Amino acid sequence: MITLSGIIGSGKSSLTDILSAELGTKAYYEPVQDNPVLPIFYKGNEIAAQKRAAGDQEATNPYAYLLQTFFLNRRFSMIKAAMREDNNILDRSIYEDEIFMKINTEMGNATQVEYDIYKSLLNNMMEELPFASHKKSPDLMITIKVSYETMIKRIEKRGRDYELVEKDPSLVDYYQRLLACYDEWMSDYDASPLLVIDGDQYDFVDSLPDRIEVFDTIENKLHELGNLNDAQLKQFHAQHVDLLAQAK
């Protein structure tokens, strides 16, 4: 089982899609289109920031805790389902979930009481996870690391209004905090082997050579971990050579 992580717009879903096709595995995607809370959460952030700017320092986003509970529930269900079988890829996992609640608390969008309740719920879920499946953790966590500039370009490209900084200037601070928290999270993560992909350097969506380079990096790591044997790795590399030759 492979889990992906990374900031908004880093390309998690895109890499999950092409990597699952490459490896012949089942893909699990974080819910976005059927998430009724996400648009109102962003609106709530904007309203809370405006209230604080007007002098109400106690103003919070009434949807922050609701959103994180929604995501936590979905991610817990998703990873349980994926862990019951072999050869699955998740485009986001429960392991990075706390980042968002932590930032919302630091920014005043959620209260400390809400954060404490959230952490208690998360810890209880993590304790139950090994009993709900035959795996204790992912075989590999892949993080796509991108700069602020790359993140913003990709957010603009997919065009969700509630994610655009020109629609909500308070998102600049939110996104910068996310980047810093992900750097900290990467240095602390120890639930499984971690592989960091440079999302600024590799355009694995539109560039075939970059995609092949990323595939080779991931498959070499899986081979190192014992998840691919010598014959499988050799076959993947041969297929990549053929793809690059056909593209010339």
Catalytic site positions: 91
List Cβ neighbours of 198 (8 Å cut-off, separation of 6 or more). 145
Contact yes or no for 61/32 (Cβ under 8 A): no
Distance set, CA 105 to CA 125, 174, 223, 245 (Å) = 21, 11, 40, 51
What are the structure tokens assigned to 115, written together? 């954060």
Amino acid present at 60: T
Distance from C-alpha of 42 to C-alpha of 49, rounded to nearest angstrom:
11
Phi and psi, residue 4, nearest 5°: -110, 150
- Block residue for tokens 């012949």: 24
Distance from C-alpha of 71 to C-alpha of 59, rounded to nearest angstrom:
23
Distance from C-alpha of 51 to C-alpha of 60, rounded to nearest angstrom:
9
Of the candidates 236, 15, 29, 30, which has an alpha carbon nearest to the alpha carbon of residue 143? Answer: 15
- Sheet with 140-145: strands ordered across: 26-28, 88-90, 2-6, 140-145, 194-198
